[in-house]
Amino acid sequence: MSERAFGESPVVITEEGSVGLVETKYFTFAGGQDLFRLENGRALGPVTVAYETYGALNENADNAIFIEHALTASAHAAGRHSPEDKAPGWWDVMIGPGKAFDTEKYFVVCSNILGGCYGTTGPSSVNPAAGKPYGLDFPMITIKDMVRVQKALSDSLGIRRIKAVAGGSMGGMQAVEWALSYPDKVDSIVLVASGAVSNPQSIAIHKVGIRAIMDDPDWNGGDYYNGRPPARGLALARMIGHITYLSHNWLWEKFGRRHPDPESMKRRLDSNFDIEDYLEYQGARFVERFDANSYIYIMRAIDIYDAAEGYGGLAASFSRLKCKKALVASFTSDWLFPPYQSREMVDAIRENNIPCDYHEIDSPYGHDSFLLEYRTLTESIKEFLGSF
Amino acid sequence: MSERAFGESPVVITEEGSVGLVETKYFTFAGGQDLFRLENGRALGPVTVAYETYGALNENADNAIFIEHALTASAHAAGRHSPEDKAPGWWDVMIGPGKAFDTEKYFVVCSNILGGCYGTTGPSSVNPAAGKPYGLDFPMITIKDMVRVQKALSDSLGIRRIKAVAGGSMGGMQAVEWALSYPDKVDSIVLVASGAVSNPQSIAIHKVGIRAIMDDPDWNGGDYYNGRPPARGLALARMIGHITYLSHNWLWEKFGRRHPDPESMKRRLDSNFDIEDYLEYQGARFVERFDANSYIYIMRAIDIYDAAEGYGGLAASFSRLKCKKALVASFTSDWLFPPYQSREMVDAIRENNIPCDYHEIDSPYGHDSFLLEYRTLTESIKEFLGSF
């Protein structure tokens, strides 16, 4: 069953403005002095970071744009790895010549987050001390830790200043943390469908996802790399997550109560509505590409992030910001990071006298709008980046 | 950990207006000619129905009120089974002398639904043909089947006319179906936090709950009555459900991002926010009292219910209604059965020239409002029942 069967995606991929063929590169920070000291005090090393770059760094080394990915994406944000690739990178509609993040002007960098499973060190990486994957021996990581790895990558690439750090969802949290941790490096932030914290409903949804994985006997306390991965638990966690990416009204629009065989509904327990088949499909597709432990660690990093931590409130915390400008965008139908969470950040940014564009975009697609409303975002971001 | 630890419930239980000590009674419809023919054509029998009654049937046998319960409740709607009972029946605040459903005026009947696990025949009942619990040999049941069992109970109690059929959530669906299936019996319906169908988001949420149960190895294809029940899967399903009973804002109010040991958050993967402990607690409590197969069958009955089935639309279907009046109530923060689903029913009732009171109650508690906003409901229902 293809995604297409469930209705057209509003995203139209064309080769126009493509960055073309790209490759994922890897940078490894060796142990010893380069060892990462995590927020919780634990040391981690060596750390490898997978990243891609599009466009070129200018002479002043100040035209970099860091793209921060959300929960399950990778460094592969734009272009294709081979001409045969079925789909381009995850934010290809936004990155390329003439696009929102214009690779003719900017040096665009996207790296896989710490704790991920797309080339950057994470729970599925080999723990050198044990000679086998970390599993649950991987230390707890935070949004700040993810950003610190990116800062090291930025330095290794010779970047002096960053024009913008931009991200949607958890990517927005990383962008905020970049500007808070390295105020002298970041000219601007672009926060899409994001928040300064996870709200308790989001924590609750992650909770049941984590529980679904851990309850799968194949999870085996996180030590499954030599056996069967916890495919059913991970699929279920993803299905739960998917419900939160789509809005109530969009579910009516996209699936309604459609059923391939309504006659069977009252006879068979396994007779599925289209929405159910869709969730099963999304779950099954996800387990082919993602590591269950990474999913747990990253959800947890989102849960515990608090941009106001250690400060009396968000405005007080944001007094650290030295960026020139900010752009914040939210979507009316997003119930994972509802617009009020974006408005809280806008208020705290403006209270610190930093100019902040705010777009509350009327969109039916729920949280997924941040990937789907690329036309509206493109317009706003182009104007924003061109203004300073 | 007690529920109290998570904040006061807005419900205050007093002995004032209590129906006192009550007992659950049982009525068994024997096999043979009394065998139930279900909507899907399958026969089921014998069928036992567990029920309680409060107040007395009048001489005209026309003062009965049927109370329809939601997903996981029982026939025990009011009073206590023994003086030592910690809590009274599930809608005690609404049923008793001088209360919304005034037992000095009305003969109040509440029965456990077909497919349930509180005394009415369900998947955990013994299948006489096999000499062991039905498990998945239990036939698929529908809201209409539940109502047909209640109609038989009503007849056996000598009830001539029903003053009102009232219910919240799935109880509202049963109330609607009562009035559609037996238009000559029902004087009025009271539909609280309900809908004429399950919306696709609700189907999706049930889907992941059902999947959680079925993925638990202890579920064993539904055949677990001689072994361990699928406690982890059922707890997870309940945790997922619970998220949908509470509103986004109420989660902030009740739990926020409170954590019993914030210092541990970045160090330990098993360090839980209060909202997580609460969900775990609800899950654990639920498995002590509910049968996993019943949960599956009942969720499915909700999913497939469509009050407009076989008609061009809801107004056309509701042309069957002959009740004198209807009362519909919804709650602003309910996202499981959002107010628009109540308004659809109100419109369809009014289109058929049946007077319909509608109350869209501003409440922070989400879907659970139907149990918590009893003061507001009491006022509306008293006025309603006194008006005809």
Interchain contact, B296 vs A269, CB within 8 Å: yes
Residue A107: which pLDDT band, with cuts at 50, 70 and 90? very high
Helix (H) or strand (E) holding B327: strand B325-331
Query: What ipTM was predicted for this assembly?
Result: 0.95
Q: Has B334 been annotated as catalytic? A: yes
Interchain contact, A136 vs B201, CB within 8 Å: no
Q: Has B92 been annotated as catalytic? A: no
Question: Please, which residues have CB within 8 angstroms of residue B358's CB and are 6 or more apart in sequence?
Answer: B327, B328, B329, B342, B343, B346
Count of CA atoms in the C-beta half-sphere (13 A) of A8 = 4
Minimal C-alpha gap between A139 and chain B (Å): 7
Q: In this model, does residue B6 exceed pLDDT 60? A: no
**What is the 3 state secondary structure string of B267-287?**
CCCCCCCHHHHHHHHHHHHHH
Burial code of B310-328, b = ≥16 C-beta within 10 A, e = fewer?
Answer: eeeebbebbeebebebbbb
Chosen for mutation from B39, B144, B211, B295 (greatest number of chain A CBs closer than 10 Å) is B211
Please tell me whether residue B208 adopts helix, strand or coil conformation.
helix
Q: Which of B69, B206, B359, B367 is catalytic?
A: B367
What tokens were used for A131? 């000679």
Chosen for mutation from B148, B269, B365 (greatest number of chain A CBs closer than 10 Å) is B269
**In the beta sheet, which residues pair with residue B167?**
B68, B191
In terms of Cβ atoms closer than 10 Å to its own Cβ (0-12, 13-18, 19+), residue A284 is: middle
| C-alpha separations of A333 from A39, A126, A207, A339, A362 in Å | 34, 41, 22, 8, 7
How do beta strands B25-29 and B47-54 pair? antiparallel
The torsion defined by the Cα of A184, A186, A188 and A190, in degrees rounded to 10, comes to: -140
Q: In this model, does residue A33 exceed pLDDT 80? A: no
**In the beta sheet, which residues pair with residue A162?**
A64, A186
Question: Please, which residues have CB within 8 angstroms of residue A183's CB and are 6 or more apart in sequence?
Answer: A320, A321, A322, A323
The total number of residues shown for chain A amounts to 388
List pLDDT tens digits, range B251-279. 999 999 999 999 999 999 999 999 999 99
* CA-closest candidate to residue B373, choices B337, B334, B346: B334
Minimal C-alpha gap between B140 and chain A (Å): 6
B32: left (phi over 0), alpha (psi -120 to 50) or beta: left
Look at residue B49 in the predicted model and tell me its pLDDT. Answer: 97
- Of the partner residues B204, B266, B297, the one whose CB lies closest to the CB of residue A39: B266
Look at residue A9 in the predicted model and tell me its pLDDT. Answer: 65
List pLDDT tens digits, range A347-370. 999 999 999 999 999 999 999 999
Residue A20: which pLDDT band, with cuts at 50, 70 and 90? very high
Chosen for mutation from B207, B257, B259 (greatest number of chain A CBs closer than 10 Å) is B207
**In the beta sheet, which residues pair with residue A296?**
none
Residue A1: which pLDDT band, with cuts at 50, 70 and 90? very low
Peptide bond into B46 cis (omega under 30): yes
What one-letter code names the amino acid at A315?
A: A
Given CA atoms A12, A14, A16, A17 in this order, what sign does their dihedral have?
positive
What tokens were used for B364? 């922070």
Look at residue B32 in the predicted model and tell me its pLDDT. Answer: 56
Burial code of A75-88, b = ≥16 C-beta within 10 A, e = fewer?
Answer: bbbbbbeeeeeeeb
Given CA atoms B49, B55, B60, B66 in this order, what sign does their dihedral have?
negative
Look at residue A376 in the predicted model and tell me its pLDDT. Answer: 96
| Mean pLDDT for the stretch of residues A11-40 | 83
Question: Please, which residues have CB within 8 angstroms of residue A329's CB and are 6 or more apart in sequence?
Answer: A190, A191, A192, A193, A342, A358, A359, A360, A361, A370, A377, A380
Residue B8: which pLDDT band, with cuts at 50, 70 and 90? low
Interchain CB contact of B276 with A (< 8 Å):
yes
A239 touches A283 (CB < 8 A): yes
- Of the partner residues B140, B212, B251, the one whose CB lies closest to the CB of residue A236: B212
Residue B4: which pLDDT band, with cuts at 50, 70 and 90? very low
Q: How far is residue B367's CA from residue B242's CA, in Å, rounded to a whole number?
A: 10
* CA-closest candidate to residue A365, choices A274, A251, A250, A275: A250
List pLDDT tens digits, range B78-89. 999 999 999 999
A55: left (phi over 0), alpha (psi -120 to 50) or beta: left
The secondary structure of residue B186, as a DSSP letter, is B
**In the beta sheet, which residues pair with residue A329?**
A192, A359
| C-alpha separations of A12 from A8, A91, A264 in Å | 9, 12, 36
List pLDDT tens digits, range A171-188. 999 999 999 999 999 999
Interchain CB contact of B113 with A (< 8 Å):
no
Look at residue A292 in the predicted model and tell me its pLDDT. Answer: 98
The total number of residues shown for chain B amounts to 388
User: Across the A/B interface, how many CB contacts are shorter than 8 Å?
Assistant: 129
Question: Please, which residues have CB within 8 angstroms of residue B289's CB and are 6 or more apart in sequence?
Answer: none
Helix (H) or strand (E) holding A144: helix A143-156
A50 touches A111 (CB < 8 A): yes
Q: Tell me the whole-structure pTM to 2 decimals.
A: 0.96
List pLDDT tens digits, range B215-234. 999 999 999 999 999 999 99
Q: What is the mean pLDDT of chain B?
A: 95
Interchain contact, B200 vs A142, CB within 8 Å: no
Chosen for mutation from A239, A276, A278 (greatest number of chain B CBs closer than 10 Å) is A276
In B, residues 278-307, which contact A (CB 8 Å cutoff)? 279, 296-297, 300, 303-304, 306
Domains of chain A from N-terminus onward: 2-198+306-385 (3.40.50.1820)
Question: Please, which residues have CB within 8 angstroms of residue B155's CB and are 6 or more apart in sequence?
Answer: none
Selected residue with higher pLDDT from A352 and A33? A352
Q: How far is residue A386's CA from residue B21's CA, in Å, rounded to a whole number?
A: 75
Minimal C-alpha gap between B153 and chain A (Å): 23
Q: In this model, does residue A4 exceed pLDDT 70? A: no
Helix (H) or strand (E) holding A285: helix A274-287
Q: What is the mean pLDDT of chain A?
A: 95
Look at residue B2 in the predicted model and tell me its pLDDT. Answer: 41
Neighboring chain B residues of A267 at a CB cutoff of 8 Å: 40, 140
Q: In this model, does residue B294 exceed pLDDT 60? A: yes
| Mean pLDDT for the stretch of residues B135-153 | 97
Q: Which residue of B has its CA nearest to A246?
A: B201
Look at residue A16 in the predicted model and tell me its pLDDT. Answer: 79
Q: In this model, does residue A5 exceed pLDDT 70? A: no
Q: How far is residue A378's CA from residue A355's CA, in Å, rounded to a whole number?
A: 19
Neighboring chain A residues of B204 at a CB cutoff of 8 Å: 243, 251, 275-276, 279
Interchain contact, B199 vs A232, CB within 8 Å: no
What one-letter code names the amino acid at A184?
A: D
List pLDDT tens digits, range B325-369. 999 999 999 999 999 999 999 999 999 999 999 999 999 999 999
* CA-closest candidate to residue A172, choices A26, A29, A377, A387: A377
Rounded to 5°, angle at Cα A278 from A275 and A284: 145
Q: How far is residue A219's CA from residue A206's CA, in Å, rounded to a whole number?
A: 17
Q: How far is residue B215's CA from residue B218's CA, in Å, rounded to a whole number?
A: 8
Q: Which of A169, A247, A317, A342 is catalytic?
A: A169
Q: Which of B169, B188, B317, B330 is catalytic?
A: B169
Look at residue A286 in the predicted model and tell me its pLDDT. Answer: 98
Helix (H) or strand (E) holding A63: none
Q: How far is residue A358's CA from residue A336's CA, in Å, rounded to a whole number?
A: 18
**In the beta sheet, which residues pair with residue A66?**
A109, A165
Q: Which residue has the tokens 């998570």?
A: B6
> pLDDT exceeding 90 applies to what percent of chain A?
92
Q: How far is residue A341's CA from residue B319's CA, in Å, rounded to a whole number?
A: 45
Selected residue with higher pLDDT from B9 and B126? B126
Residue A8: which pLDDT band, with cuts at 50, 70 and 90? low
* CA-closest candidate to residue A330, choices A297, A287, A366, A295: A366
Helix (H) or strand (E) holding A73: none
Q: Has B206 been annotated as catalytic? A: no
